[in-house]
A and B are shown apart, each in its own frame.
Chain A
Amino acid sequence: AQSVTQLDSHVSVSEGTPVLLRCNYSSSYSPSLFWYVQHPNKGLQLLLKYTSAATLVKGINGFEAEFKKSETSFHLTKPSAHMSDAAEYFCVVSALNSGNTPLVFGKGTRLSVIA
């Protein structure tokens, strides 16, 4: 079985400062891990994915995440926050080679960016 814990329900940063959104996972199988972002009244957009290749994954809009098996973590980072980054972020796990379903979502982290 797979599960995901997002350690912060809300993170607030100032524009131009680094972003860190924390995620721990549990998986009985080799996991696929994803970060999705959801802006208000929008669907989910894929930021990046890990599927057992490089442990440091680069995504869109300057985001990246590092897979650490020893810590069962997949934290999302960005060097410098922008106002447009304010949204809900979801860490997601699925079993590799399962067709990526079902996706198991964390509870989400709401990112606020202060001018």
Chain B
Amino acid sequence: KAGVTQTPRYLIKTRGQQVTLSCSPISGHRSVSWYQQTPGQGLQFLFEYFSETQRNKGNFPGRFSGRQFSNSRSEMNVSTLELGDSALYLCASSRSDSEAFFGQGTRLTVV
């Protein structure tokens, strides 16, 4: 059974640009959540999508957005990148009320 797949694994972007990250959940999982991991702030919740609807949202600015498609694949977008957006972005999928399974993450570096 394939795990959670995140693409790309590594990205380097320039300040002011925008970026789109992709997450393919485990087959049958309808919930996809995104987390940001930085050395200073640790792991923080960005948002969660379930059946193409945003169900929960963390405390991040509007530059961070996401969406989910009918096949449960999800994308997150960050516009007007700042140096502080450099982080490991982790995606997790789950069935309703079950544990979350994480992908290997996308390492974003903003220069």
Residues of A within 8 A of B (CB): 34, 36, 41-46, 49, 90, 97, 99-108
Shortest CB distance B89–A (Å): 11
Starting from the known contacts A45-B102, A100-B97, A101-B48, 6 additional A-B residue pairs (CB-CB under 8 Å) come to A46-B101, A100-B99, A102-B48, A103-B92, A107-B42, A108-B42
Residues in chain A near residue B96, CB distance under 8 A = 99
- Least Cβ–Cβ distance between B2 and chain A, in angstroms: 14
Q: Which residue of B lies closest to A102 (CB)?
A: B45
Q: Please state if A100 and B102 are interface contacts (CB–CB under 8 Å).
A: no
Instruction: List residues of B whose CB falls within 8 A of some A CB.
Output: 4, 31, 33, 35, 42-45, 48, 50, 55-56, 58, 90, 92, 94, 96-105
Nearest-neighbor residue (CB-CB) of A49 within chain B: B99
Min CB distance A43 to B, Å, is: 4
A contact face: mostly helix, strand, loop, or mixed: loop
Closest 6 CB pairs of A and B: A102-B45, A105-B43, A44-B102, A43-B102, A43-B104, A101-B48
Residues in B with CB closer than 8 Å to A49 are 99
- How far, in angstroms, from A102 to B50 measured CA to CA in the complex? 13
Name the residue of chain A whose CB is nearest to the CB of B43: A105
Q: Chain A residues with Cβ under 8 A from B99's Cβ? A: 34, 46, 49, 100
Partner of B58, one of A34, A41, A44, A102: A102
For the complex formed, measure the closest distance between the CB of B72 and the CB atoms of chain A, giving whole angstroms: 14
Closest CB of chain A to B86's CB: distance in Å?
Answer: 15
Distance from B76 Cβ to chain A, minimum over Cβ atoms (Å): 15
> What chain B residues lie within 8 Å of A108 (beta carbons)?
42
The smallest beta-carbon distance between A107 and chain B, in angstroms, is: 5
* Complex Cα–Cα for A41 and B90 (A): 12
State in angstroms the CA–CA spacing of A108 and B58 once bound together. Answer: 20
Residues of B within 8 A of A105 (CB): 35, 42-44
Which residue of chain A lies nearest to B9 when distances are taken between CB atoms in the complex? Answer: A41
